[in-house]
Structure formats: structure tokens, C-alpha cells
């Protein structure tokens, strides 16, 4: 995948297939530690220890249509390629938490990409699911929560096209803002 | 999150929703499995949504599906028009998607050159 945001779009589909009603996506960029952490946590049906162990194996899939499943294997590869790792924790009946780390400045780290479009596609495509997105860059945090959006929107559904545009732009502008605010810190680290 | 902007959307949309008949008959389904996403399904979906809202055709339902087993043909999209058989387009890109919206979804004429499969 060319962007981390495409990996996120992809692995959240696993949460949705596991009938999650709540999906939390957390990203932290720590310039001092040169570390990017990505977490996707859901309250879906979870997996057995055996399944949790095999889930990053490309030749394992829960599907019956064919014998390969590449989503998590590709994310694992993307993390390990730049000095990070992938961890999968799951409990049957409770949910699953995927944590991936990446060397923030590593040459082979895929760019974050368009998180706005990823969230717009996820939220508008699944208006009944609660999504929470938190993105921190050195103490500055951007946050988007569908629970709060629903309160304001009232009878207007999250799958309206104008809501799609709102999410895309709000995320793009929000991330730009926290990155700009962390700029003095970047200069400090560079010095 | 910009709350003021969201409140404006509510006010605007609430009026429009009241005017709509409530029936969304036209449906577009985009393959969003690992293969679809890797092949570029996300920008295709963005192009379709954008083209529909530019043409004020916001009553068309746009949804996602998983992998259909034709990974090499991704991005795949299915178009369902009321009373007509399903048409599947393959190897779609944002430009092709905009043409499919204009000519097929809004114009009613299948774009034969992009068709991967058609329900008999």
C-alpha cells in the first residue's frame, strides 16, 4: 500500500467484518523518539489465541472464497520494513487491538497519506458504527468522534455527501494545524 | 472538530431531506477489500461522490463491499439501476468513474468499453 491511511482503511474492514460497533483509531507521532504508533481497537467479536497467532500469516484467512488474506500481513511488512513491529491482541467476545510502530523518519516508511478521505469513506460507509480518531503530534491532538457528530447532526445521517466532505476537510485541516503547531519542536529536534 | 461548520450542514440538510421522497433507488457498490484498496478504490469512491454532488444527485446510494474474487480487475464497481440488471465495471480509475456517473448512473446508458461483467 502506498499510504498508511490505506492500510488503516483496509484493516478497519476486519473490525467491521467482526461486527464491531465501536472502532478507535489512534496515531501518535513522537519526533523525539523518532516513532510513529498506530492503534486500531474495536469491540468486535474477537479471535481465539490460535487465530490471533495466525492472522498475520498471508496464507491464513477467515474467508472461504480463497486461501490468502493479505491485509494484516501487508501492514506487518510495512512496519517491519522501517524498524517497527506489529502486535495483535484479541479476546473472544471482547474485541481486537492492533498496534503497529514505525520509524517516523525511516526512509521506507510509507507517508500517512489522506487520512481525511479514509475516515470519510469509513464513517459515511458505516453510519451506524461509532468511530473515534485521535491523532497526536508531540502533545498537540486532533480528535474526531462520530458520537459527537451525531449529537450535532440530529436527524441528518452520517452518510450524507456533505458530511463526507466535512469529514475529509476537517481532518485535513486539523492535521495541518497540529503539525504547524509542533513545528518549533521539530526545529528543536533538528538542532 | 469544527462544530460550527457541522451545525450549518445540519440546518441545510434537514430542509433537503424533508423534500426528498425518501427512496434511494440507484445504488453503486465499490469493492473495498485489500485488493480494491491497493488498486485505487478510495480515489474512485471520492470521484464518484464528488461527481454525484456536483450533479446534485445526492440521492444515489454509494456503498462498499469486500473482495469479489476478481482481484486483478480491481477497482471494481457495481451499478444497480431500478428495474435493470447489475452492471460491473472493472479496472476503474477516477476519470472512468466520472464517465460512468455521467453516462450510466445519470444518463441511463451503459459505458460498454469499461464493462467487466453484465448480469444476464
pLDDT (tens digit, 9 = 90+) per residue, B55-108? 877 778 899 998 888 999 999 999 999 888 999 999 999 999 999 999 999 999
Chain B residues with CB under 8 Å of A170 CB are 1-2, 5
Q: If contacts are CB pairs under 8 Å, which of residues 48-67 in chain B contact chain A?
A: 49, 52-53, 58, 63-64, 66-67
From B2, B34, B43, residue closest to A70, measured CB to CB:
B34
The residue-averaged pLDDT of A2-19 equals 93
Whether the predicted pLDDT of A125 surpasses 60:
yes
Residue B30 half-sphere exposure toward CB, CA atoms < 13 A? 28
Interchain pair B14, A155: CB under 8 A: yes
On whether the CB atoms of residues A49 and A162 are closer than 8 A, the answer is no
CA–CA–CA angle B80, B32, B119 (5° rounding): 30
Please tell me which of the candidates A13, A66, A152 has its beta carbon nearest to residue B32: A13
Name which of B7, B45, B46 is nearest A152 (Cβ-Cβ): B7
Q: B13 and A65: CB-CB below 8 Å?
A: no
Q: What pTM was computed for the model?
A: 0.87
- Please tell me the predicted confidence (pLDDT) of residue A103: 96
Confidence of residue A155 (pLDDT cuts 50, 70, 90): confident
Q: How confident is the model at residue A63 (pLDDT cuts 50, 70, 90)?
A: low
pLDDT at A159: 86
Q: What is the pLDDT of residue A24?
A: 98
Instruction: Name the residue in chain A with its Cα closest to that of B54.
Output: A161
Is the predicted pLDDT of residue B110 greater than 70, yes or no?
yes
The more confident residue out of A185 and B76 is B76
Q: What is the DSSP letter of B44?
A: H
Q: In angstroms, rounded to a whole number, what is the distance separating the alpha carbons of residues A63 and B118? A: 25
What are the chain A neighbours of B37 within 8 Å (beta carbons)?
A: 1, 6, 9-10
The answer, yes or no, to whether residue B40 has pLDDT greater than 60, is yes
pLDDT of residue A45: 93
pLDDT at B20: 64
Q: Is the pLDDT of residue B50 over 70?
A: yes
Confidence at A160, pLDDT banded by 50, 70, 90: confident
CA A5 centroid distance within chain: 7
pLDDT at A81: 94
Percent of chain A with pLDDT over 90: 70
The burial of A150, by beta-carbon neighbours within 10 Å (0-12 exposed, 13-18 middle, 19 or more buried), is given as middle
Q: What is the ipTM of this complex?
A: 0.80
- Contact at 8 Å (CB) between B80 and B104? no
What is each CA distance from A110 to A4, A79, A120, in whole angstroms? 6, 9, 21
Amino acid at each position: 500500500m502506498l499510504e498508511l491511511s490505506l492500510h488503516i482503511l483496509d484493516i478497519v474492514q476486519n473490525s467491521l467484518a467482526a461486527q464491531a460497533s465501536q472502532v478507535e483509531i489512534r496515531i501518535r507521532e513522537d519526533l523525539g523518539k523518532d516513532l510513529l504508533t498506530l492503534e486500531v481497537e474495536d469491540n468486535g467479536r474477537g479471535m481465539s489465541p490460535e487465530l490471533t497467532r495466525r492472522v498475520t500469516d498471508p496464507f491464513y484467512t477467515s474467508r472461504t472464497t480463497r486461501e490468502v488474506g493479505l491485509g494484516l500481513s501487508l501492514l506487518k511488512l510495512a512496519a517491519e520494513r522501517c524498524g517497527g513491529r506489529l502486535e495483535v491482541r484479541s479476546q473472544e467476545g471482547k474485541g481486537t487491538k492492533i498496534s503497529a510502530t514505525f520509524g517516523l523518519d525511516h526512509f521506507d516508511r510509507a507517508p500517512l497519506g489522506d487520512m481525511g478521505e479514509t475516515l470519510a469513506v469509513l464513517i459515511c460507509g458505516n453510519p451506524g458504527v461509532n468511530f473515534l480518531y485521535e491523532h497526536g503530534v508531540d502533545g498537540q491532538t486532533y480528535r474526531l468522534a462520530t458520537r459527537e457528530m451525531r449529537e450535532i447532526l440530529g436527524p441528518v445521517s452520517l452518510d450524507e455527501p456533505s458530511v463526507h466532505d466535512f469529514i475529509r476537510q476537517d481532518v485535513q485541516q486539523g492535521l495541518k494545524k497540529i503539525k504547524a503547531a509542533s513545528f518549533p519542536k521539530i526545529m528543536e529536534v533538528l538542532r | 472538530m469544527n462544530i460550527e461548520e457541522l451545525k450549518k450542514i445540519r440546518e441545510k440538510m434537514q430542509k433537503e431531506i424533508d423534500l426528498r421522497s425518501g427512496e434511494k433507488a440507484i445504488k453503486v457498490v465499490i469493492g473495498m477489500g485489500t485488493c480494491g484498496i491497493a488498486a485505487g478504490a478510495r480515489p474512485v469512491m471520492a470521484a464518484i461522490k464528488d461527481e454525484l454532488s456536483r450533479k446534485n444527485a445526492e440521492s444515489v446510494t454509494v456503498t462498499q463491499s469486500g473482495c469479489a474474487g476478481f482481484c486483478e480487475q480491481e477497482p471494481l464497481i457495481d451499478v444497480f439501476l431500478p428495474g435493470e440488471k447489475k452492471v460491473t465495471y472493472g479496472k476503474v480509475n477516477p476519470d472512468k468513474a466520472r464517465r460512468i456517473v455521467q453516462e450510466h448512473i445519470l444518463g441511463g446508458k451503459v459505458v460498454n468499453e469499461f464493462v467487466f461483467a453484465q448480469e444476464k
